Chains A and B, each alone.
Chain A
Amino acid sequence: MGDKRPAETLDGTPVTMAEGSPPPTAFLEVRDLRIHFPTDDGLVKSVDGLSFRLERGRTLGIVGESGSGKSVTSLGILGLHNRRNAKVSGEIWLDGQELVGASPEEVRRLRGRRMAMIFQDPLSSMHPFYTVGDQIIEAYRVHNDVSKKVARKHAVDMLGRVGIPKPERRVDDYPHQFSGGMRQRAMIAMALSCDPELLIADEPTTALDVTVQAQILDLIRDLQEEFNSAIIMITHDLGVVAELSDDILVMYAGRSVEQASVQDAFHRPLHPYTWGLLGSMPRLDRERSERLLPIKGTPPSLINVPAGCAFSPRCAYAELNEGRSETERPELAEVEPGHRVACHLPLERRRQIWETEILPKL
């Protein structure tokens, strides 16, 4: 993890397989993923050295602010970036198979059969001129050699499973005839129609009302139990993460700054940015706090990521590190089993700050 690759591998040519690093044991393992976009304004380093692993039956919540690289990461795993304008390097191992270096055909074959995605805006990923049923049937038949009739029955089943009332009738509706919540359900039905082992949900409920969001989160939870899929849940809502995830990855400026079990992330977070997120949020489950504790400043541009720790211009503790925060990029280090944090501040000091300065004010 975190091994420095020569810059040449960023030019988009397939990376030769894992020099020296052993094949992973996890179901999904991402190693030092970098996704850069050359633009007129400069190189956008949307993802810049991301590593994590995920087992089947588990849910990883990825949180971060707008533009931190969450969606670029998920599209990268699914191999959906156009190789002509996205420079992808690193390794993505799905059940022992490496995807960054695999052929586009191979990745396309895996997509829909072993991995699927739910997007924030179902309208943009459903075709407006085809019925919901036809789209599910089509997706199913690409990977399953069955008759149209069998596929249609499967589509009706799936719509029923995700809670669409009268699925045998609604299967012939067009997407615009569905409400926002129903479209999101239909997209989940489409994504799940091939029993994917890896499901990536990118802000699946952000556009929905809270009561409908609750229905969809219940649905994802139930389906995971049934299919034992690995789920990556991308969201900016810490509440959604806490409800659904086993583990959390906090992203900032294209990198992960903290990875932990959901328990550790909420009860013993050890990165100043994670503290900032927790302090910014008004909470219904606590006494109303007199004042929120925002993070100062704004997230950085990914063309000009601050030197050293990308969070340093906004971090209240940057000056405690004798200049290291501004000059040296902190690497993700395991501080406790399963808990990795990238920060120069001495661990004991961070534990103490959390206990005495942050927690009491939340």
Chain B
Amino acid sequence: MVSTPQTGAETSPAAGTGVSAAQAARPERGGEPLLAVEGLGKHFPVTAGLLRRQVAAVKAVDGVSFAVHKGETLGLVGESGCGKTTTGRMIMRLLDPSFGRITFEGTDITGLSQRQMRPLRRDLQMIFQDPYSSLNPRQTVGAIVGAPFRLQKIQTEQGVKKAVQDLLELVGLNPEHYNRYPHEFSGGQRQRIGIARTLALKPKLIIADEPVSALDVSIQAQVINLLEDLQDELDLTYVVIAHDLSVVRHISDRVAVMYLGKIVEIADRNDLYAEPMHPYTNALLSAVPIPDPDKRKGRERIRLSGDVPSPLDPPPACRFHTRCWKAQEICKQVEPPLVELRPGHHTACHFPENAPEGATELVAKAAAERDEAAATGEPVTLGEAKGGVRKV
């Protein structure tokens, strides 16, 4: 039984500041992370015919590693279909991972049965994107928000009502609305109801999947401020999944950028936005329209051609090479490992931007070590082992 993310995730010792992907999951602040994900992956089988034979697999998530510390907010960004929601659902154990490991408070929860998960359900909660469909229209607010209390039989009915009303107040709703139904509320209010329900069991970790993207901008700001206040007040830890880079910058302490099922860059918020290293991150940032007409001109514009390739058949080696303006032969041959090129700033690219001198060599070295380890059968994280050298 593995208790900390370090053990069992060994690759050969890192050279220089180059650190393997597995180590990216190691605590960067003192102490053990609240959540650690190592080499996590989900391949959805694609079946055909009467016998439902598997003919292919959607590689929705393909070996991601990261850690989240108590009180921290990790932002997970990327374009639609890159695997953000799937990652969140695996952490919640709403989906079984195909490979990899999830560690919560030092305990490996990857293989726990639903029954074994039950005590952990209190600690791990999810906020969903769509405030309309995630609430049962036939239940009152009191029933919705109070359900977790009733399920866990922790309070009397009187106690439940009081607790629910306190929660409604906490999220900025009128406690008098205890007996109202979801359709009587606006989108932003419904998202608050969802948040109140999430908070009912005093979770330690909240995974928020696009918590504000369905909301109008003025309401978005209300909900973002609410999430921040609650974090301060209740010492919550968040994984926030979003596609809006401005929102992610605002609420995250650290940010992970995903592309086609992989994390291509993970860094402190300020580092990532000020000096993005992965070409994809650079392209994403330069594509965000800036609400200042004076900045129309003179802005560096990187324009990617085409669309994101299908996760059914992702490009080999660096998955971004089909759209990358810096791609060279090696990018199609060797998958670049996630390497720590500046303190706390990991990126997976052979030719990173804003990188310190010698980055390309460091990446090459880390890749060679990884592949050697894979060849000699040394334990490596599953996600890494799958990377390897692939000839086109």
Is A280 a contact partner of B293 (Cβ separation < 8 A)? no
B139 on interface, CB distance cutoff 8 Å: no
Is A209 a contact partner of B220 (Cβ separation < 8 A)? no
Of the listed stretches A46-54, A239-247, A337-345, chain B binds: A239-247
Is A292 a contact partner of B224 (Cβ separation < 8 A)? yes
Least CB distance from B165 to A in Å reads 21
Least CB distance from A218 to B in Å reads 7
Is B218 a contact partner of A65 (Cβ separation < 8 A)? yes
Is A65 a contact partner of B303 (Cβ separation < 8 A)? no
Is B285 a contact partner of A284 (Cβ separation < 8 A)? yes
For A281, what are the chain B residues with a Cβ–Cβ distance below 8 Å?
217, 221, 246, 291
Is B221 a contact partner of A262 (Cβ separation < 8 A)? no
For B249, what are the chain A residues with a Cβ–Cβ distance below 8 Å?
282, 284, 288
For B292, what are the chain A residues with a Cβ–Cβ distance below 8 Å?
242, 266, 285
Is A181 a contact partner of B307 (Cβ separation < 8 A)? yes
A7 on interface, CB distance cutoff 8 Å: no
A39 on interface, CB distance cutoff 8 Å: no
B150 on interface, CB distance cutoff 8 Å: no
B79 on interface, CB distance cutoff 8 Å: yes
Least CB distance from A283 to B in Å reads 6
A179 on interface, CB distance cutoff 8 Å: yes
Interface size class on chain B is 35 or more
User: Which of A239, A241, A279, A296 has most B Cβ within 10 Å?
Assistant: A239
For A243, what are the chain B residues with a Cβ–Cβ distance below 8 Å?
289-290, 296
Nearest residue, chain B, Cβ from A246? B293
A276 on interface, CB distance cutoff 8 Å: yes
Nearest residue, chain A, Cβ from B280? A211
- A357 and B391 alpha carbons, distance in the complex (Å): 60
B288 on interface, CB distance cutoff 8 Å: yes
A276-B218 contact in complex given A209-B79, A212-B307, A215-B303, C-beta closer than 8 Å:
yes
User: Which of A179, A210, A239 has most B Cβ within 10 Å?
Assistant: A210
Contact pick for A210, options B219, B228, B288, B294, CB 8 Å:
B288
For B220, what are the chain A residues with a Cβ–Cβ distance below 8 Å?
280, 294
Is A214 a contact partner of B217 (Cβ separation < 8 A)? no
Interface of B, secondary structure class, is helix
- A116 and B291 alpha carbons, distance in the complex (Å): 27
Least CB distance from B264 to A in Å reads 14
Q: Using a CB-CB cutoff of 8 Å, which residues 267-318 of chain A contact chain B?
A: 267, 276-285, 288-289, 291-296, 298-299
Contact pick for A280, options B189, B218, B270, B306, CB 8 Å:
B218
For B217, what are the chain A residues with a Cβ–Cβ distance below 8 Å?
65, 236, 238, 277, 280-281
A213 on interface, CB distance cutoff 8 Å: yes
For B99, what are the chain A residues with a Cβ–Cβ distance below 8 Å?
none
For B245, what are the chain A residues with a Cβ–Cβ distance below 8 Å?
210, 284
- A217 and B286 alpha carbons, distance in the complex (Å): 13
* Binary CB contact string for chain A from 232 to 261 against chain B (1 if under 8 A, 0 otherwise): 000011111111010000000000000000
Is A239 a contact partner of B289 (Cβ separation < 8 A)? yes
Is B216 a contact partner of A218 (Cβ separation < 8 A)? no
Nearest residue, chain B, Cβ from A282? B250
- A299 and B216 alpha carbons, distance in the complex (Å): 9
Nearest residue, chain A, Cβ from B308? A209
Least CB distance from B173 to A in Å reads 12
Nearest residue, chain A, Cβ from B304? A211
Is A239 a contact partner of B290 (Cβ separation < 8 A)? yes
* Binary CB contact string for chain B from 254 to 280 against chain A (1 if under 8 A, 0 otherwise): 000000000000000110010000000
Contact pick for B307, options A179, A241, A266, A285, CB 8 Å:
A179
B3 on interface, CB distance cutoff 8 Å: no
Is B219 a contact partner of A211 (Cβ separation < 8 A)? no
A327 on interface, CB distance cutoff 8 Å: no
The 9 A-B residue pairs with the shortest CB-CB distance in the complex, in nearest-first order:
A239-B289, A294-B221, A282-B250, A280-B221, A214-B287, A295-B218, A209-B79, A292-B221, A65-B216
Residues of A participating in the B interface, judged by any CB pair closer than 8 Å: 65-66, 165, 179-182, 209-215, 217-218, 236-243, 245, 262-263, 266-267, 276-285, 288-289, 291-296, 298-299
- Known contacts A217-B289, A242-B295, A288-B249; 7 additional CB pairs below 8 A are A213-B287, A276-B218, A280-B217, A281-B217, A281-B221, A281-B291, A282-B249
A-B contact pairs, 19 of them (CB 8 A): A165-B306, A209-B308, A210-B243, A210-B284, A211-B284, A211-B303, A214-B301, A238-B217, A245-B293, A262-B293, A280-B217, A281-B217, A284-B288, A285-B291, A285-B295, A288-B270, A291-B225, A298-B188, A299-B218
Residues of B participating in the A interface, judged by any CB pair closer than 8 Å: 79-80, 186-189, 216-222, 224-225, 228, 243, 245-247, 249-250, 269-270, 273, 283-296, 301, 303-308
